[in-house]
């Protein structure tokens, strides 16, 4: 039906404006779109509009005298979709405008039909002058919220423009080859046979970067667990853990289980406990492990309150892949630009500190704790670890032998886009 794809995209974006996370509801919205071609169109419009949301919203503020964001988030979202098409998609402008106006009609908001038409046509008429104003504004020009821009500039005085550019890009699709089944070279050969263009990742030993994203079910052996999708920076955790078969391993913030699975693909351990506070997400760990034919002790518990689930047996290896701002993975989760607030950073940093402090006594002397975040903010990374070491006399930061990223306090920071990777921070702490 004309307009239905735009209406579906606007519905998705409006949910984010109201505080929902894309991962939670986009699959249901897409499942409701009957044509496969329309599904990818909706996905592109949702992701793209969110990627440029602060820029599009700034533009809307120039085009509308009275904002509709609060009262009518769907119409606001539809204007974002309309402008996104005109600015970034190769859809003929007249078709983009007509379909978007049709979507307003489908939403049964007669007043919005005229408004949508007027806003999009005015944009077309005054495009150059409007974009000049948008580009001159920090939020409009960078497509990042002002509070985040401020922190990025303070934390990365030289690199912030590159971080912003990377956040606005589309990420590559990266695979993790399951070593239990075949070597990376053998799988690369299989991909070549299937005419899927791919290269070995320079830093992730099991990583393969695809030239173009595709449906996972087109990957040879996906259903049998021979390969998974995982960013290359996330794959570095398994190397840094240096976990061996005799070890008792704790993965304290495990869901959805990407790093859990990677570690388990590498070896069988004396014990492997995977904890997460979110029961629904813990189900995802179970599903992922089942596909890979792996198993672990799954525990629904709070990493900051181990008394509730720890049996007193110390761990030789602990992975704390902490809940964080996710400012290193904005390119994969562009809804972060709208969802995250400045005050979240303080509460996340507090939670990370509590988790670290509470788990430290669970580490056996001589053991190794890997602290990881997909954040680029010093508060959650270098500062967090420096404060931890100050609080714990028996903690020493071990050097990280890696060529990627850069030293950052007692750890290493990978910025988004470096060697195609997500932004990640790693620190390795040993207990004496």
Ligand X SMILES: C[S@@+](CC[C@H](N)C(=O)[O-])C[C@H]1O[C@@H](n2cnc3c(N)ncnc32)[C@H](O)[C@@H]1O
The token pair that represents 85 in the structure block: 């098409």
Output the smallest distance, CB 252 to ligand X, in A: 6
Q: Quick one: 181 or 281, whose CB is closer to ligand X?
A: 281
Q: Quick one: 82 or 411, whose CB is closer to ligand X?
A: 411
- What does the alpha-carbon distance between residue 115 and residue 77 come to, in Å, rounded to a whole number? 13
Of the candidates 253, 324, 374, 404, the residue annotated as catalytic is: 374
- What does the alpha-carbon distance between residue 272 and residue 298 come to, in Å, rounded to a whole number? 9
Helix ranges restricted to H, 217-325? 232-241, 258-266, 279-292
Q: Quick one: 256 or 411, whose CB is closer to ligand X?
A: 256
Q: Quick one: 116 or 413, whose CB is closer to ligand X?
A: 413
Output the smallest distance, CB 277 to ligand X, in A: 4
Q: Quick one: 303 or 369, whose CB is closer to ligand X?
A: 303
Q: Quick one: 96 or 355, whose CB is closer to ligand X?
A: 355
- What does the alpha-carbon distance between residue 292 and residue 228 come to, in Å, rounded to a whole number? 9
List residues near ligand X by CB under 6 A.
Answer: 234, 253-259, 275-278, 281, 302-304, 321, 323, 355
- What does the alpha-carbon distance between residue 372 and residue 253 come to, in Å, rounded to a whole number? 10
The sign of the CA dihedral 139, 142, 148, 150 is negative
Output the smallest distance, CB 319 to ligand X, in A: 7
- What does the alpha-carbon distance between residue 17 and residue 411 come to, in Å, rounded to a whole number? 35
Crossing angle of helices 73-88 and 110-136, in 10° steps, is: 50
Output the smallest distance, CB 196 to ligand X, in A: 24
Which residues, in sequence order, are bridge partners of residue 271? 248
Output the smallest distance, CB 218 to ligand X, in A: 23
75 Cα distance to chain centroid:
27
Helix (H) / strand (E) element for 248: namely strand 248-251
Output the smallest distance, CB 404 to ligand X, in A: 18
Active site residue 374: yes
DSSP output for 188-210 = HHHHHHTT--EEE-SS-TTEEEE
The token pair that represents 220 in the structure block: 């040879």
The sign of the CA dihedral 60, 64, 70, 76 is negative
As annotated, the active-site residues are 374
């Amino acid at each position: 039906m004309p307009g239905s794809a735009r209406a579906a995209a606007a519905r998705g974006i409006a949910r984010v404006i109201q505080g929902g996370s894309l991962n939670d509801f986009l699959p249901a919205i897409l499942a409701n779109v009957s044509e496969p071609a329309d599904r990818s169109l909706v996905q592109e419009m949702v992701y793209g509009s969110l990627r440029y949301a602060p820029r599009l919203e700034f533009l809307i503020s120039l085009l509308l005298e009275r904002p509709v964001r609060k009262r009518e988030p769907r119409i606001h979202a539809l204007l974002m979709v309309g402008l996104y098409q005109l600015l970034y998609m190769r859809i003929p402008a007249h078709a983009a405008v007509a379909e978007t106006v049709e979507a307003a009609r489908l939403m049964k908001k007669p007043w919005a039909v005229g408004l949508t038409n007027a806003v999009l046509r005015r944009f077309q008429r005054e495009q150059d002058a409007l974009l000049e104003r948008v580009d001159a504004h920090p939020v409009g020009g960078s497509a990042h919220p002002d509070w985040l821009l401020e922190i990025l500039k303070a934390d990365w005085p030289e690199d912030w423009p590159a971080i912003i550019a990377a956040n606005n890009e589309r990420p590559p699709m990266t695979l993790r080859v399951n070593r239990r089944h075949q070597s990376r070279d053998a799988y690369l050969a299989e991909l070549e046979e299937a005419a899927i263009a791919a290269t070995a990742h320079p830093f992730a030993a099991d990583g393969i970067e695809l030239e173009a994203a595709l449906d996972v079910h087109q990957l040879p052996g996906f259903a049998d667990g021979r390969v998974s999708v995982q960013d290359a920076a996330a794959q570095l955790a398994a190397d840094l853990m240096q976990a061996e078969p005799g070890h008792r391993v704790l993965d304290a913030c495990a869901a959805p289980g990407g790093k859990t699975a990677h570690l388990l693909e590498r070896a069988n351990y004396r014990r492997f406990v995977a904890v997460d506070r979110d029961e629904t997400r813990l189900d995802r760990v179970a599903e992922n492990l089942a596909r890979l034919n792996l198993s672990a002790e799954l525990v629904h518990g709070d990493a900051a309150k181990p008394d509730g689930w720890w049996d007193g047996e110390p761990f030789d290896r602990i992975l704390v892949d902490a809940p964080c701002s996710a400012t290193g993975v904005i390119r994969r989760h562009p809804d972060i630009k709208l969802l995250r607030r400045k005050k979240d950073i303080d509460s996340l940093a507090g939670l990370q500190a509590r988790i670290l402090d509470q788990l430290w006594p669970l580490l056996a002397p001589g053991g190794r704790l890997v602290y990881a975040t997909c954040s680029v903010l010093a508060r959650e990374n270098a500062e967090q670890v420096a404060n931890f070491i100050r609080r714990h006399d028996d903690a020493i930061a071990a050097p990280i032998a890696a060529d990627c990223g850069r030293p950052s306090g007692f750890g290493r920071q990978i910025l988004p886009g470096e060697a195609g990777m997500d932004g990640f921070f790693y620190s390795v702490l040993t207990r004496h």
